[in-house]
């Protein structure tokens, strides 16, 4: 087994106006980075297209129909000041859902050690009936519900280290006692949620607001403390909303993280997964808007996933 990498060409068919931060060049930067020889051992797969029923795990039919009705014949249409759709956006979003679901299926079946999904649009801001923050559907929350309801898991963890609070994931899992959600994020910053007092209907939401400029020295002990709570929850699968916009070069925020911080945090997440669920981690791309920093940070993240997958394989052979 190795790390499973899922992506699809439809990621380039989701269009936004020129100059928009969430653009196709992001996914091209990730693809280019993961073509380096260091990633030759990645098991590469085409992200399948999810059917409507998968989106409906977290969204009502009217939300799906609103997205479908908003698709323009050409160009793009604005859903809110940040979020656009183009003729290919729904297809791209359903391939995003399908890619994360397929990675979950593969990891739970023992056919991959862990997984990384590089698709767009991202998914952690979309609420049940509100596309927002570049996101159309709650992709990682949908994958959590699939793991719980389709695969019958009892407990799933969703960890979000995007610089913006995963308000959509939080809202979609607010009443779900089988899922623990942990998010670190810059505060104050869009979308304005993510206070420590937001703890979910069952106390299963853990928010880690971070001040601007705080860097990895502040982040690391706070994540260590949060991961101790997640470890006590004993998840059977760890899902990761992997946003790389906390990087010091990112134009949309100012936490000042480096690639070393992403390596450290990925190792810490894998340590948790090794302790709780046989190393089962599925990570999906969220933000990251400086292309050079995004490529370097994804490379650091995926390299750790591959390293930890290889270590687990060796341990299993012994």
Residues contacting residue 9 through CB under 8 Å, at least 6 positions apart: none
CATH number for the domain harbouring residue 105: 3.40.800.20
C-beta separation of 244 from 261 below 8 A: no
Length of the chain: 318
Give me the pLDDT at residue 317, please.
Answer: 53
Host domain of residue 21: 3-317
Per-residue pLDDT at 314 exceeds 70: no
Residue 316 has pLDDT above 90, yes or no: no
Q: Is 296 left (phi over 0), alpha (psi -120 to 50) or beta?
A: alpha
pLDDT at 193: 98
Residue pair 14/120 in contact (Cβ under 8 Å)? The answer is: yes
Asked if residues 301 and 259 have their Cβ atoms less than 8 Å apart, the reply is no
Please tell me the pTM assigned to this model.
Answer: 0.97
- Give 136-156 pLDDT, tens digit per residue: 999 999 999 999 999 999 999
pLDDT confidence bin for 311, thresholds 50/70/90: confident
Section 296-302 average pLDDT: 98
Predicted local distance difference test score (pLDDT) of residue 318: 46
Cβ(127)–Cβ(80) below 8 Å: no
At 113-137, the pLDDT tens digits run 999 999 999 999 999 999 999 999 9
Q: Are strands 281-285 and 114-117 parallel, antiparallel or unpaired?
A: parallel
Give the active site residues. 125
Instruction: Specify which residues 158 forms β-bridges with.
Output: 181, 239
Q: Provide the domain count of the chain.
A: 1
Three-class DSSP category at 61: helix
- What's the rounded mean pLDDT across residues 197-209? 98
CB 284 within 8 A of CB 123: yes
Q: How many CA atoms lie within 13 A of 105 on its CB side?
A: 14
């Amino acid at each position: 087994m190795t790390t499973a990498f899922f992506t699809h060409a439809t990621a380039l068919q989701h269009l936004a106006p020129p100059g928009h931060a969430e653009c196709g060049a992001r996914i091209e930067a990730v693809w280019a980075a993961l073509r380096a020889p260091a990633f030759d051992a990645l098991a590469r797969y085409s992200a399948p297209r999810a059917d409507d029923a998968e989106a409906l795990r977290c969204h009502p039919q009217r939300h799906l129909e609103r997205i479908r009705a908003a698709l323009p014949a050409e160009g793009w249409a604005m859903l809110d000041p940040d979020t656009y759709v183009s003729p290919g956006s729904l297809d791209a979003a359903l391939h995003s859902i399908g890619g994360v679901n397929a990675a979950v299926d593969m990891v739970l079946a023992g056919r991959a050690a862990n997984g990384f999904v590089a698709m767009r649009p991202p998914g952690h801001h979309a609420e049940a009936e509100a596309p927002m923050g570049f996101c159309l559907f709650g992709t990682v929350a949908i994958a959590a519900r699939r793991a719980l309801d389709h695969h019958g898991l009892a407990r799933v963890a969703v960890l979000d280290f995007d610089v913006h609070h995963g308000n959509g994931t939080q809202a979609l899992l607010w009443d779900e006692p089988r899922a623990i959600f942990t998010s670190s994020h810059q505060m104050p910053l869009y979308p304005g949620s993510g206070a420590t007092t937001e703890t979910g209907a069952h106390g299963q939401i853990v928010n880690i607001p971070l001040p601007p400029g705080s860097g990895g020295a502040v982040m690391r002990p706070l994540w260590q403390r949060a991961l101790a709570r997640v470890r006590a929850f004993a998840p059977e699968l760890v899902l990761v909303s992997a946003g790389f916009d906390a990087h010091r070069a990112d134009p949309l925020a100012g936490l000042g993280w480096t690639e070393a911080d992403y390596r450290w945090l990925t190792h810490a997440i894998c340590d948790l997964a090794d302790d709780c669920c046989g190393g089962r981690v599925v990570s999906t791309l969220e933000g990251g808007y400086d292309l050079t920093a995004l490529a370097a940070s994804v490379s650091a993240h995926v390299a750790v996933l591959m390293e930890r997958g290889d270590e687990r394989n060796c341990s299993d052979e012994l």
